[in-house]
Structure 1
């Protein structure tokens, strides 16, 4: 064989360097996934189950023990628990039991910690605290890409998340956290009850579709915010998402996924489905075309392109969903404080510690990256990418 040109070697090294950096970003992106205990069956795309079937996953004796413990909590925690269960007090008990492998005492501690977090951070009133001025909130919506695209055939809300194109760089971390929690709370207090009434059955979970379009190495700057939001979901909103679909993934994602997947717990892997291309054909098995996010609709020029961008942009403040959410929050603010002007300033919420599973994965990945030190350009360790707790 002839001598390999030095230029080809340099190109190969550059590709390997980019691949490993992108791997680290994708790992953090996957932290969006709540670490839920129960492995949900995804065969034949059947996701929605009645509450009675859901209860069967956790023994009744465990639920009864949990109920007895909750009877002993302080009144402030009981009041905030009412907002959590929305008239279905056993439902969150099941979710938290799943999140702690059926261990009643661990689930009890997790739920009590969640309720204390809600009380200490005034989460019950977060839907009465609009982010103002409107231009600031618009900038947040344009850089923290999430929206409601519709409902599945079983009545589950479908949330579109623009992972690849989100920048989260137009405001402080606290504004993004406040906005994220507000969407969670609006989902739980308004969207789920409305869907329950519309479809005639209890609905308390959703589907999320993660769009990787535009995924770049510069997105590494989002790691801190992504980790914070995923930890908030993990600790305070467990078992709220049935399945995460990943669509429009770049070519290198497949290789990265093969490395990351073995590092994840089984309960996590069971909730992630990586679809080919924009995923339209698979997603149409569980939802109508009208509920498909714009980036999942096939076009002659490519899956992620769409002509009705201003109509179908589920992320924009101009979309009906975000208009509805923002107007609701402003109205609640006026009801709570009708004579006081709306204050500007982000709501500072106590941010969680890093997830344990994430730390273990990072440690394993660090040992793998040691093998690639000689390529040049790769970080010496993951220390450079460590996330602070955002408490400053």
Structure 2
């Protein structure tokens, strides 16, 4: 690659940036090399010419997620995006986003809490999942694996279309990823084996259909036998995803609070948040604010 192609392009910052300290990471809008900009333009033009470009879903930031996931290999990224589009049709994603109603949410929350809750210090939506509370027998008396996957996809779509834009508006710069806390406290190896098919499908949907959405990922309260569970999970994930995962035992509070404001972290994890009705059912965050206002993010 020539020096002229390696140097950063003069592409402008994305619209809506009001944070004077924002510096986009490489491979993002506002920080593309000349070659990366060329590949992005070619990528967009190619799918437009082939007639499967969806303007409302395929903005440049989205196209760049697929390009980064395939290290800016044009052909591989195109195959990945095409496969994701075919999956959307077979899974019925558009119909799901319009009609899905997870009426059993409150009951499921008792046996497998999974929820979004406020923002981290970089403006990312925080996602918390308590695998240790999983009660398979009770869970599948009130829902099914199919509905769990539908809920997962529904939440991914809301993450992309509502949560990220709301967080971006709140902090004054683009937000493209989440901060995840996976709590394994009290996890049963037997329960994990019974849900491993769901976990495998969920992992595949995340990295293949919604790539480059993981920012920070903390696995906390990892028990002594977690190495066995990890040996099953790790092969389902690509190396980039694995590199973003931080596995911690019971001494996790300092690391979480280094990334998450105390007022945004639930009390049970060392924060000060105690939402009425419980943090897991509150869906607290700027995506539910009636008026999106500029909120300072702790540095």
Q: In structure 2, do the counterparts of structure 1 residues 278 and 313 end up closer, same or farther at CA, with 3 Å as the change threshold?
A: farther
2:211 is aligned with 1:238:
yes
| 1:248-270 deviations in Å (ceiling 9; x for gaps) | 111333x5589679967542331
Q: Aligned residue for 1:161? A: 129
Q: Aligned residue for 1:142? A: 110
| Residue from 110, 123, 126 that aligns with 2:93 | 123
Select between 278-287 and 155-164 the one with higher mean Cα deviation: 278-287
Q: In structure 2, do the counterparts of structure 1 residues 210 and 309 end up closer, same or farther at CA, with 3 Å as the change threshold?
A: same
Which protein has greater RCO, CA pairs closer than 8 Å, 6+ apart?
Answer: 1
In structure 2, the residue corresponding to 1:284 is in which secondary structure? helix
Q: Aligned residue for 2:295? A: none
2:124 is aligned with 1:151:
no
Q: Which runs of no fewer than 5 residues in structure 2 stay unpaired?
A: 1-21, 289-299
Q: In structure 2, do the counterparts of structure 1 residues 280 and 48 end up closer, same or farther at CA, with 3 Å as the change threshold?
A: farther
Q: Aligned residue for 2:220? A: 247
Select between 155-164 and 269-278 the one with higher mean Cα deviation: 269-278
| 1:79-128 deviations in Å (ceiling 9; x for gaps) | 3x523x4xxx2212221122223221111111022122223433223222
| 1:253-304 deviations in Å (ceiling 9; x for gaps) | 3x55896799675423311111242511112112211222444228xxxxxx
Say whether the 8 Å CA contact 1:118–1:124 is kept in structure 2: yes
Q: Aligned residue for 2:53? A: 78
Distance in 2, Cα, partners of 1:59 & 1:258:
35
| 1:327-376 deviations in Å (ceiling 9; x for gaps) | xxxxxxxxxxxxxxxxxxxxxxxxxxxxxxxxxxxxxxxxxxxxxxxxxx
Deviation at 1:192, TM superposition (A): 0.9
Q: Aligned residue for 1:171? A: 143
1:93-108, aligned counterparts within 5 Å?
Answer: 93-108=63-78
Q: In structure 2, do the counterparts of structure 1 residues 147 and 49 end up closer, same or farther at CA, with 3 Å as the change threshold?
A: farther
Q: In structure 2, do the counterparts of structure 1 residues 320 and 49 end up closer, same or farther at CA, with 3 Å as the change threshold?
A: same
Distance in 1, Cα, partners of 2:34 & 2:124:
20
| Residue from 195, 215, 235 that aligns with 2:187 | 215
Q: Aligned residue for 1:90? A: 60
Deviation at 1:200, TM superposition (A): 1.3
Deviation at 1:245, TM superposition (A): 0.6
Q: In structure 2, do the counterparts of structure 1 residues 200 and 108 end up closer, same or farther at CA, with 3 Å as the change threshold?
A: same
> Which consecutive aligned stretches of 4+ in structure 1 deviate over 3 angstroms post-superposition?
47-58, 119-122, 140-144, 255-266, 306-313
Q: In structure 2, do the counterparts of structure 1 residues 58 and 285 end up closer, same or farther at CA, with 3 Å as the change threshold?
A: farther
Q: Which runs of no fewer than 5 residues in structure 1 stay unpaired?
A: 1-46, 299-305, 326-392
Q: Aligned residue for 1:184? A: 156
Q: In structure 2, do the counterparts of structure 1 residues 128 and 164 end up closer, same or farther at CA, with 3 Å as the change threshold?
A: same
Distance in 2, Cα, partners of 1:151 & 1:307:
12
Q: In structure 2, do the counterparts of structure 1 residues 124 and 56 end up closer, same or farther at CA, with 3 Å as the change threshold?
A: farther
Say whether the 8 Å CA contact 2:116–2:126 is kept in structure 1: yes
Distance in 2, Cα, partners of 1:70 & 1:236:
17
Distance in 1, Cα, partners of 2:145 & 2:65:
28
1:318-357, aligned counterparts within 5 Å?
Answer: 319-321=282-284
Say whether the 8 Å CA contact 2:29–2:61 is kept in structure 1: no
TM-score in terms of structure 1 length: 0.58
Q: Aligned residue for 1:114? A: 84
Distance in 2, Cα, partners of 1:270 & 1:48:
22
TM-score in terms of structure 2 length: 0.74
Say whether the 8 Å CA contact 1:145–1:162 is kept in structure 2: yes
